[in-house]
Structure 1
Amino acid sequence: MILDDFIAYNTNGLYCRYADFYLDPQQPVENAVITHAHADHAVAGNQNVYATEATLAFMELRYGNKKAKVSYTVPYHTPFNIGEVQITFIPAGHMPGSAQVLMEYRGTRYLYTGDYKLQADATCEPIEWVQADVLITESTFADPNTQHPDPVEEIKKLNDIKINILLGAYSLGKSQRLISMINQHAPQKTVLVHHRIMPINAVYKKLGYDLGAHQVYNRKLMKEQREYVYIVPPFTFDSYIRATGVKRLFASGWKNLQANQQDTLFISDHVDWNDILEAVKQVNPQQIWTLHGDGRQLKEYFKNDIFVKIIG
């Protein structure tokens, strides 16, 4: 039997009262199940944290000994229990260590996706599918009008730009994916990386990911025109709004984050509309619960076939 209140939001985040744990809590809590290490999903100061090895490694880099009082490293496909709920991490394809959370309670299976993507990505584990009675999916881009282009074709746009490029990207996950893709699909480019991104790259290396050739940024280099691509975090990208002699691009699935309408680079680490429909097909749920976005379009689309509940 599906329990309508199996998880629900409270002031600390998404809570399972049947076993007293939170999924990606927004405030420090007693028991936190963390899907991945992005700051909007992994906060410091929790008492007990359950996460994959890679997620804990990135949290260690960001938070040090404040990442948790007690950390439990849980491999993919290895069930563990909190109270009466059995939990299993399933690869989510979002970034290294990202996990969907399969929760089994009294014969019913609930699958929380966290952030996930279906596109191929050499810098993280590919998504895997399991079936569940309830699919609890992020709905960041749950709009029929949002369909992300082929990321390889997007990155190949850089081949046609013969001046230096200032490329804005989130430091964890997106930057590393871009380094790898540029090396593979625009190999004549020389990749320069902001110094704050380099420690993250070092964690990737320890985890076994070879990103390809790149070097830390040197101001003297960017004064030359040698097809450099300088990858910078958002705050640096915004501070260079008046930069001259470079092409400014920002890699994102969001239209409002593109540098301008002519110079776009739509590379997203989230599912789009068609991806969510594929997830529904693969998981084959009786119900869909949506969060982290707007689930109204999904509710309308499945109104005659699958019950859709918007929980956040």
Structure 2
Amino acid sequence: MIVDDLIYFNGTGLYCPYGDFYLDAQLPVQNAVISHAHGDHAVGNHINIYCTSATHQFMASRYGKNAGKEFYIASYHQKFTIGKVDITLIPAGHMLGSAQVLMEYKSIKYLYTGDYKLQPDSSCEPYEFVKADVLITESTFANPETKHPDPDQEILKLADVKMNIMLGAYALGKSQRLIRMINDLVPRKKILVHHKVMPLCQIYEKNGFPLGKYELYNRKSMKTQDEFVYIVPPFTFDSYSRATGVKRLFASGWKNLQVNDQDTLMISDHVDWQDILNVIEQTRPQQIWTLHGDGKHLAANFSNTIFVKMLS
């Protein structure tokens, strides 16, 4: 029988009382299972942290001694137990080390997706389908009107830009995906990366995901018109809003983060509507619980077949 309160939001985050742990807690807690290393899912100073090796490395790089007290590293498909709940981490395809959290309690399987994508991405482990009784899915883009464009076609837009490009992207995950894609699809472009992006790239390389050619930014290079692509984190991108002599682009699945209607680079690391439907078809859940977005469209779509509960 499905337990309705296996996980729920309290004042600290998404809590599982049967294992006494949190999923991607936003405040320091005693026991934290972390799906991936983005800052809105992985904060520092937890006591016991359960995650993949790559997630641990990213947290150690970003937070240093404040990463957390004790890390318990789990490989994909390696089952472990917290309290009364058996847990298995499954590749989520969102970024390097990202994991879905498969929880088993009294023979019922609950799959927490974390952030995930189905689009091919050679910079990280691909998404893996798994059967579950309850699918707990992010619903960031869970809208029938949302369809992400082909990311390869988006990157090929850079081939038509004959000047230097300042490319805004999140430092972790998105930047490394862009480096790999630009090297694969527009190899004549010369890639420079911001100093905050470089150590994260090195973790990718160390974990067996080579990104191709790139080098640390230097001011002298960008003074020449040599078709450089300078990848910078959002705060740097925003601080150069009036930069001249470069084409400014921001890589995101959000339309409101694009520079303008003409200069867009719509590349998302989340599932769109059809991807979510594909996951539901493969997962075959009895129930769907939604979070991190609006689940009303899923509730309407499956009103006669699958029970949908919105956690947030």
TM over 0.5: yes
In the TM superposition, 1:111-122 aligns within 5 A as 111-122=111-122
Aligned to 1:241: 241
* Residue type at the aligned position of 1:147: K
Aligned to 2:42: 42
Once the two structures are superposed, residues 34-53 of structure 1 have per-residue CA deviations (whole angstroms, 9 ceiling, x without a partner) of: 00000100010101000000
Structure 1 counterpart SS, 2:231: strand
Aligned to 2:275: 275
CA distance in 2, matches of 1:218, 1:69: 37
Aligned to 1:265: 265
* Residue type at the aligned position of 2:206: K
Structure 1 counterpart SS, 2:54: helix
CA distance in 1, matches of 2:304, 2:256: 34
Please state how far the C-alpha of 1:249 moved relative to its aligned partner: 0.4
Extract unaligned runs of 5+ from structure 1.
Answer: none
Q: Under a length normalisation based on structure 1, what TM-score does the superposition of the two structures give?
A: 0.99
In the TM superposition, 1:72-221 aligns within 5 A as 72-221=72-221
Aligned to 1:29: 29
* Residue type at the aligned position of 2:88: T
Structure 1 counterpart SS, 2:261: coil
CA distance in 2, matches of 1:264, 1:115: 23
CA distance in 2, matches of 1:63, 1:128: 29
Please state how far the C-alpha of 1:204 moved relative to its aligned partner: 1.1
Please report the RMSD computed on the Cα atoms of aligned residues, expressed in angstroms: 0.6
Please state how far the C-alpha of 1:65 moved relative to its aligned partner: 2.2
CA distance in 2, matches of 1:294, 1:311: 10
Structure 1 counterpart SS, 2:262: coil
Q: Under a length normalisation based on structure 2, what TM-score does the superposition of the two structures give?
A: 0.99
Q: Which runs of 4+ in 1 moved over 6 A?
A: none
CA distance in 2, matches of 1:249, 1:221: 19
Matched, 1:67 2:67: yes
Once the two structures are superposed, residues 234-284 of structure 1 have per-residue CA deviations (whole angstroms, 9 ceiling, x without a partner) of: 000001110111111000000000010001000000011111001101100
Once the two structures are superposed, residues 179-233 of structure 1 have per-residue CA deviations (whole angstroms, 9 ceiling, x without a partner) of: 0000000011000111111111111111111100011111111111111111000
CA distance in 1, matches of 2:237, 2:295: 32
Aligned to 1:232: 232
Bigger mean CA offset, 48-57 vs 64-73: 64-73
Matched, 1:16 2:16: yes
* Residue type at the aligned position of 1:144: P
Q: How many residues align?
A: 312
* Residue type at the aligned position of 1:275: D
Once the two structures are superposed, residues 289-309 of structure 1 have per-residue CA deviations (whole angstroms, 9 ceiling, x without a partner) of: 000011111111111111100
In the TM superposition, 1:291-302 aligns within 5 A as 291-302=291-302
Please state how far the C-alpha of 1:18 moved relative to its aligned partner: 1.0
Matched, 1:255 2:252: no
Structure 2 counterpart SS, 1:11: coil
Structure 2 counterpart SS, 1:155: helix
